[in-house]
Amino acid sequence: MTVLPGGETYLGEVVLTGAEEYAFWEAGMLGEKVPLAVKNVTVSGECGENCSYTEKDRNTIAFAKGNVTIGYEAGIVQKNLQILLDEPSTITVTLPEGIDVQNPLLGRVSEGGIVSRENNTTVIRWDQTRFVEVRFYDPGQERLLLIFGAVWFTVAAVLIVPFLLMRRKQDP
């Protein structure tokens, strides 16, 4: 999965062996499967570079049985990418330059994710997992967090210093 600049869309790629259909899912509020709205779907593999497929329903496609690679584009809500698969798989998520997950107050990588920096991008890998969650942020959000922290630190200092000075005068 590759998150596009801006963090509102990602490009997904799924490699299937001996398959004849694929359903696009995402995790719902309670972890249940919810149909994923996708666009720009491509199927390639043994049938060629641009295989034909049919839409069985709003989130399932059918194609000739075989080994295929499915590419698609889907949206990301509130900079929180969630991927839900039927079987444990190796998953890689690539974040573009300017988007990060390192600050634990703003970002999150689900359990088992290994974060590394490669060619000015952040790459996160999981081995044999069914669910992945990546909450990321941009420099603007990090700047707002620093401003928020500085304001509260100043308020705390303004309230604590007079209290300590008054207490010091009362001690005999």
Q: What is the chain's pLDDT, residue by residue, as a tens digit (172 residues)?
A: 899 998 899 999 998 888 899 999 888 888 788 888 999 999 998 888 888 898 888 889 999 888 999 999 999 988 998 888 888 989 999 999 989 998 889 999 999 999 999 888 999 999 999 888 999 998 888 899 999 999 999 999 898 888 888 877 665 5
Q: How many domains does the chain have?
A: 2
User: 64 and 53 in one domain?
Assistant: yes
What tokens were used for 12? 């997904």
User: 126 and 101 in one domain?
Assistant: yes
- 163: enclosing H helix or E strand: helix 139-170
- Domain range holding 144? 139-172
What tokens were used for 93? 């998520």
User: 86 and 19 in one domain?
Assistant: yes
In this structure, what CATH number is given to the domain that contains residue 115?
A: 2.60.40
Note the pLDDT of residue 33: 84
State how far the Cα of 72 lies from the Cα of 29, in Å rounded to an integer. Answer: 23
Note the pLDDT of residue 170: 65
User: 150 and 102 in one domain?
Assistant: no
User: 169 and 85 in one domain?
Assistant: no
User: 127 and 46 in one domain?
Assistant: yes
Note the pLDDT of residue 47: 81
User: 129 and 168 in one domain?
Assistant: no
